[in-house]
Chain A
Amino acid sequence: MNFITYLIGLPLIGGLLCLLIPKAKEVIAVAISVITFAVSILAFVFPDQASQYFIFDKMSGFVALFISLFGFLIVLYSIKFMQKLSAERKISLTQYYCYVLWTLAASLGAVLSNNLILLLVFWGFLGLTLYLLMQIGASDFQESSAAAKKTFIIIGGSDCFMILGIAIIWFLTGTFQMDKISINFASYNSPSLPVIAFVCLTIAVFAKAGAMPFHTWIPDAASTAPIPITAYLPASLDKLLGIYLLARICLNLFNVSAYQHINVFLMFIGAITIIAAVFMALIQHDLKKMIAYMNISGAGYMVLGIGTNNPVGIAGGLFYMLSTTLWTSCLFLCAGSVECKTGTTDLDKLGGLAKYMPLTFLSSLIAALSISGVPPFNGFFSKWMIYQGLISSLPTSNFQLLTLLFIAAAMFGSALTLASFMKLLHGVFLGQASKHQNIKTSERISEVSWTMWLPQIFLAVLCAIFGVFAIQIPLKYFIFPSLSTSHFPFPAVFSGVWQPGLATLLIIVGIAFGFIFYIISGLKYRISDTYIGGETLPSEVRVTGADFYQTIKDIGFFKTMYSLAEQKMFDIYDWGRKIVSSVGSVLSELHTGNFETYLSWCLIGAGILLLVLVH
């Protein structure tokens, strides 16, 4: 049976069905996404043969599996969330579900295609669906349409570079079929063409996955688009697709090992992304924007891992990709639940929700611990692999000092991540309850409905399982098989020893001991209100946690950097806009509407042409 046709065709037809039968849109969307997920499991267990147009190896198989999993979880989550949203604002839910399903189809198509043109079509179509989805259910029309425009210009613009890259690859190899392409930099006298092609493709990857300097659409998209969409596209599908393509480029399309500059370039982008994004995350006041920056810094780790060009590093990069999609979408969904119940995601206005929303708190806690790299969750293990990859690439590297700096950046970034999640957890779930959230909603805050908490919990549990049983499940079934086909010897030899199962056991034993001591010693405790200096705080002057790291912002160097960032000096989109509009205004000045000028242009133009032709 040909699973690929079903995987792409089902959601495509499902989307059309939603348009045709608007009444049953939710049923159709859930049914189609469940079936697609089931088919992708089947397809993963019994892979299809690769054809001229589609490929189903272990790598595309596991990415497709997770794409369809996210498709299902998001549709499930959307039912209640979007219902509530559409009650508040005028939203076409029919279009929403249609685009969500089409996105699913296009993502699966992009991952499974074995032909660069086919990949380009699906890849570009995703930009369009993201644009359309961002326009739906926006909180503020003006802002959201600006954000949607910006997103689509960055994504669509990067797709244009991809076209150029693909054209050059075709020029060099004469084929579009991905499994036949293998470009070795060493075999060209001047490697400028292959390098341009490589850079063009990585631009598309960076824009999709959100690595710097093409990351700026993600915070904007996160703060204006409906949360399920943020969790769906920038947080999960775009990451999976982007890093999948990067892995394909580095492992299959190009042979990068002969050209270390490429690796250093990738690692450099990765390291910069990690550090800069984490610093931006530290100072955010908005829950959604903060998670968005954490998401960007995640992309940095992946690029760094794959850039090592070292078996463990690449495996780590892929594992980190998987892990990041799990925890960021989990966090975004949690943020959505918070928004759904309180009407805001502003850290200044939130607080003390753990009591009312225990399941949401639990899942955010696990996701936050994972993302900060706390053992035994998956974040720790995947970061551990990336560090190892970096370290083991040191001896053969020509750029040892730089690589050392990259390691430092990655570790430092991890620490700062933990710091920013302390702020997040404190600001939203712990601390003192805010008055705002009670004013906003007349009913008492309670846990969200099961269709919303189930996806959160599911993702959080996956985070835990993939951490504790890292070697037994994700690495064994997903990561190593997808790499062993290429030129790397797998299973790789780890240079450091970390047995997550044993460690988890020890951690649990430790906690259990502590608990036993606590009970035996019979310590007494009392519950009181939050107080400072012996005075109970009224809720107006409570500590929100939003300004935990305000001091960093006041340090000289960081102060300038932050103020430059606020002026959008690091936003490539803003730069482009300024350049284009200044050139446009100069040209526009020339068009005076003066008729003699126009006539003289024609004649001068004719004269110049004559000169050119005669030469």
Chain B
Amino acid sequence: MLPLVVVIPIGIAFLISFLGKYYKKLSDILATVACISLAILSFLIFYELRTMNYEPLVYKIGGWLPSIGISMVVDGLTAVMLIVVNVIALISVLFSVSYMEKYTDKWKYYALFMMMLTSMNGLIVTGDIFNMYVFLELGTISSCVLIAFGTEQDELEASFKYMVLGTVASTFILLGIAILYSYYSTLNMSDISLAVSKGSSTIVITFLTLLFVVGFGLKAAIVPFHAWLPDAHPSAPAPISAMLSGVLIKSLGVYALVRILFNVLGVVGSNILIILGVISMVVGGFLAIYQKDLKRMLAYSTVSQVGYIVFAFGLGTPLGIFAGLFHLINHAFAKFLLFLNAGAVVYATDERNMENLGGLREKMPVTAATSLVGSMSISGVPPFGGFWSKLFIILAAVQAKEFTAAVIAILISIITLSYYLKLQKQTFYGKLSERWQDVKEVPLTMCIAMIIPAVICAGLGLLLLPQIKIVFLDPAVGVLANGLEYGSIVLQNIK
């Protein structure tokens, strides 16, 4: 069952690129069916993991044992990430069906979309660090093309910037992998983890930490490596912006970073992550409030919120990891939703400058209501999901005695609230200008695609109920908190 999460999307991507040109409707259907089955599959994998009492599921490609062959590993963290990514991908396809009508060559879009999904799923389930690098590149390239999909000047420029900076990131990562291989003679993550746990020189680990923090930090858009994001994320078509900010930078960036740092290198929590996280939240927050462009504001907000996530992971305590993971999930759904809302606004008005918008609540009630839910969730207003993760981040920071950082996090959360209220005020509240008298609500499928994540955002707090928390979040936190035990646990399960 495990390889299917990679095989399905890549297979569908090929199918669409062969057939999509001739049968217009086919690509819609294929992509939707693929995403539905992937979403179901991710839950099935989670269910299987649960019946196995959270012992990692390992699949050996071609039956080769690790350190020779590539293995796929599913543990608590992987399963959670798979569910988040595939559910969001499904909603995104639903949104695309109507939204992408205005572009030509819709089938190319779907093929690339499926490639991107392949890269994320592959990166999450792989147990081999070089395989991870391959999927990372696949993700970067497909998202580069998707960013440039509109082929306007801005979009091409943004794509170019992303491409070059992405390459810099890849270089750092590849260098790191090369050093790892030269020291431990293996590329399998559990093998490396075991080797590191048996003792290794600090200076090597330190240098590797640096390389991976810079490399994945670029992918995750942590300040000062963030500069490509505010250009790239807004340029893509709305469902892709939503995917990029919602899940791509989290799986390619944050997930890969914490997986390698915590589980492979054994660096559970680090001051560097705390410092970078705090800088990111501050810089992203201040820049977001200054923006006039709707999607650009959301992009800077992503920088700021990823800062919160990295900060919480950087604390390294179980509570911190829990807060980081929970904020990752909350932010994934909320930011995804907000980019869809922005897409809906652009779809209806063809205007991204918030100063020209206003009063759209009357004309687009579904978009306005769902956008309010998303904004309130990220701003941390109870009872939405984001409130809980903000609360846990602060609790974790205070528990870890990072008082200064806690105060900064609090101040920036006020700024977060401010710019989301600015977004609400300038886009949906206020006076409707003459120009938008004929604006209509977006088509039904798009409305549904916005309502689903809104409901999820509102209900994510339920994950904290003890019965659900024990099943869903605690195993994932356990994986990261265990650090280097990852290697021996996974190797036990390879028969």
**Interface residues in chain A, defined as those with a beta carbon under 8 Å from any beta carbon in chain B:** 90, 117, 120-122, 124-125, 127-128, 131, 135, 141-142, 145-146, 148-149, 152-153, 156-157, 160-161, 163-164, 167-168, 170-171, 193, 196, 576, 580-581, 583-585, 587-588, 591, 593, 595, 597-599, 601-602, 604-606, 609-610, 612-614
Contacts and interface: CB of A to CB of B under 8 A. Distances in A.
Contacts of A583: 286
Contacts of A597: 227
A200 to B, nearest CB: 8
A145 B406 CA distance: 31
B210 A580 contact: no
Nearest to B158: A593
A602 B224 contact: yes
B418 A163 contact: no
A606 B172 contact: yes
B398 A601 contact: no
Given A163-B390, A613-B272, 16 more contacts: A125-B382, A128-B381, A141-B359, A141-B430, A149-B422, A156-B414, A160-B410, A160-B417, A164-B407, A170-B395, A171-B398, A196-B403, A584-B286, A585-B290, A595-B161, A599-B165
B28 interface: no
B394 interface: yes
* Central interface residue in B168, B206, B271, B421, by most chain A CB within 10 Å: B421
B78 interface: no
- Which of B231, B271, B399, B403 has its CB near the most chain A CB atoms (within 10 A)? B403
A601 B227 contact: yes
Contacts of A141: 359, 429-431
- Greatest chain A CB density within 10 A among B168, B379, B398 is at B398
A241 to B, nearest CB: 15
A153 B417 contact: yes
Contacts of A593: 231
Contact of B168 (A146, A156, A602, A604): A602
B425 A149 contact: yes
Contacts of B421: 131, 149, 152-153
B290 A584 contact: yes
The 4 closest A-B pairs by CB, nearest first: A584-B290, A598-B227, A157-B414, A145-B429
16 contacts: A124-B387, A145-B429, A145-B430, A153-B414, A156-B381, A167-B397, A167-B398, A167-B399, A171-B399, A591-B230, A593-B231, A598-B161, A598-B228, A601-B224, A602-B227, A605-B225
Nearest to B362: A90
Nearest to A592: B227
Given A128-B376, A160-B413, A613-B272, A581 B290 contact: yes
B418 A580 contact: yes
B230 A602 contact: no
A163 B391 contact: yes
A587 B168 contact: no
Contacts of B415: 580
**Max count, chain B CB within 10 A of own CB: residue among A121, A127, A157, A606:** A606
Contacts of A125: 381-383
A91 to B, nearest CB: 12
B319 to A, nearest CB: 11
Nearest to B365: A92
Given A145-B425, A613-B209, A606 B287 contact: no
A601 B225 contact: yes
B144 to A, nearest CB: 15
Q: Place the interface of chain B in its size category.
A: 35 or more
A292 B495 CA distance: 74
Contacts of B376: 128
A588 B224 contact: no
Interface in B212-241: 213-214, 218, 224-225, 227-228, 230-231
Question: Counting chain B CB atoms within 10 Å of each CB, which of A121, A145, A588, A601 scores highest?
Answer: A145
Q: Most chain-B Cβ atoms within 10 A of its Cβ — which of A125, A142, A167, A585?
A: A167
A152 B376 CA distance: 11
A157 B407 CA distance: 12
Contact of B430 (A121, A142, A161, A193): A142
Given A168-B398, A593-B231, A609-B210, A587 B381 contact: no
A422 to B, nearest CB: 38
A139 to B, nearest CB: 12
A78 B286 CA distance: 41
Contacts of B390: 163
A142 B431 contact: yes
Which among B164, B362, B406, B429 has the highest number of chain A CB atoms within 10 Å? B429
A610 B395 contact: no
Contacts of A584: 286-287, 289-290
B139 interface: no
Interface string B163-191: 01100100010000000000000000000
A602 B286 contact: no
Contacts of A606: 172, 210, 214
B148 interface: no
A168 B402 CA distance: 11
Nearest to A598: B227
> Which among B218, B397, B417 has the highest number of chain A CB atoms within 10 Å?
B417
A605 to B, nearest CB: 4
Nearest to B361: A135
Contacts of B168: 599, 602
Interface in B254-304: 271-272, 275, 283, 286-287, 289-290
A155 to B, nearest CB: 10
Contacts of A576: 414
Contacts of B429: 135, 141, 145, 148
B380 interface: yes
Nearest to A193: B403
Contacts of A148: 425, 429
B164 A599 contact: yes
B20 to A, nearest CB: 34
A156 B382 CA distance: 10
A171 B317 CA distance: 14
Q: Which of B209, B383, B399 has the most CB of A within 10 A?
A: B383
B159 to A, nearest CB: 12
A143 to B, nearest CB: 10
Given A125-B382, A170-B398, A609-B272, A120 B414 contact: no
B179 to A, nearest CB: 14
Nearest to B381: A128
B381 A127 contact: yes
A6 B390 CA distance: 30
B425 A146 contact: yes
A496 to B, nearest CB: 44
A605 B225 CA distance: 8
A321 B421 CA distance: 31
Contacts of A145: 425, 429-430
Interface in B409-452: 410-411, 413-415, 417-418, 421-422, 424-425, 429-431
Given A141-B431, A156-B379, A609 B227 contact: no
Contact of A164 (B210, B271, B394, B425): B394
Contacts of A170: 395, 398
Nearest to B430: A145
Given A141-B359, A170-B395, A587-B290, A121 B383 contact: yes
B206 A613 contact: yes
A67 B161 CA distance: 57
Nearest to B284: A587
Determine which residue in B230, B275, B382, B430 has the highest number of CB atoms from chain A within 10 A of its CB, and name it: B382
A614 B206 contact: yes
B293 to A, nearest CB: 12
Contacts of A167: 391, 394-395, 397-399, 406
A127 B387 CA distance: 13
Contacts of A163: 390-391, 394, 410
A164 B408 CA distance: 11
A603 to B, nearest CB: 8
Interface in B369-407: 376, 379-383, 387, 390-391, 394-395, 397-399, 403, 406-407
